[in-house]
Amino acid sequence: MADARIIPAPNQNPETEPYYRAFGEGRFLVPVCLACGKAHWYPRFFCPYCGGKTEPRESRGEGTIYSYSIMRRVERPFALAYVELAEGPRMMTNLVDCDFDALAIGQKVRLAFKPAADGTAMPCFTPVPGER
């Protein structure tokens, strides 16, 4: 397992503030459009699909690996991935607490918060044991 990478501090703004606050409380929120009902990622005030207003909703914190890449030519290897959330959207995230050589596309993952360089809780994902 190689997850000693220090995650860069996020650039927060008024649109993302409620999400980072929830992350600090151990809750993972996903924006959902009040007009069309679609979930999306990255947090925005307005839906990227229809322009409707959005609201944060609690996520199950489950998903599958859609794509991933392992960065090995660095001091501390790490894995970046697009995870397809159970709610539908795909998000770029870190895969943590795992054997990078055992990762696979389609593998089930679950939420695991890790601190960024400034201490902000960041949503990361780890493989679900025994699931492929």
The full set of domains in the chain, from first to last, is 17-127 (2.40.50.840)
pLDDT at 3: 46
Cα 74 to Cα 7, 77, 122: the distances in Å are 14, 6, 21
**Distance between CA atoms of residues 83 and 124, nearest Å:** 10
Contact 108, 61 (CB under 8 A): no
pLDDT at 130: 76
Q: Given a cut of 50, is residue 6 above it in pLDDT?
A: yes
The pLDDT tens digits for 69-110 are 999 988 889 999 999 999 999 999 999 999 999 999 999 999
Cα 103 to Cα 43, 60, 70, 109, 129: the distances in Å are 27, 21, 10, 10, 11
